[in-house]
Amino acid sequence: MGKKKVISEEQISTLVLPATTDVLGVAKKLLGFDRVLVRCQDGKERLCRIRGKMKRRVWIREGDVVLVSPWDFQSDKRGDIIWRYRRNQVELLRSRRYLTIETR
């Protein structure tokens, strides 16, 4: 086994942009297990779960900007977190005018 290659935040070049159904939001409160209360950009607060692929690889803190995919049913109340943006990616989102809500 070799060592894992450590990638710094500056080296991450891919920026996942929101699709037509996805919404940007800010993690407001961690509720335990894999659930997070997220204040979304469309003015709604959603109870979101961290999808299984991200669960142990990506740690989400309060104030982090995340990409939320609302559920087909209960779309106003529930959703899945599908991406967490890093600091430099948040600045790119602001400069491209995707993000309009305050993070902290």
The predicted model gives 88-98 an average pLDDT of 87
Is pLDDT at 77 greater than 70 in this prediction?
Answer: yes
- Residue 3, domain member (yes or no): no
pLDDT band, very low/low/confident/very high, at 92 (cuts 50, 70, 90): confident
What residue numbers bound the domain in which 66 lies?
A: 16-95
Token pair of 22 as six digits? 């996805």
- Residue 4, domain member (yes or no): no
- Please give the Cα distance from 85 to 58 (Å, whole number): 10
Note every long-range contact of 2-10, with CB atoms under 8 Å and residues 24 or more positions apart, other chains counting. Answer: 9/86, 9/87, 9/88, 10/88
Q: How close are the terminal C-alpha atoms of the chain, in Å? A: 40
Q: pLDDT of 6-63, one tens digit each?
A: 555 555 567 788 888 899 999 999 998 899 999 999 899 999 999 888 888 888 999 9
Check: CB of residue 69 under 8 Å from CB of residue 82.
yes
Q: Is the pTM of this model over 0.85?
A: no
Q: How many domains does the chain have?
A: 1
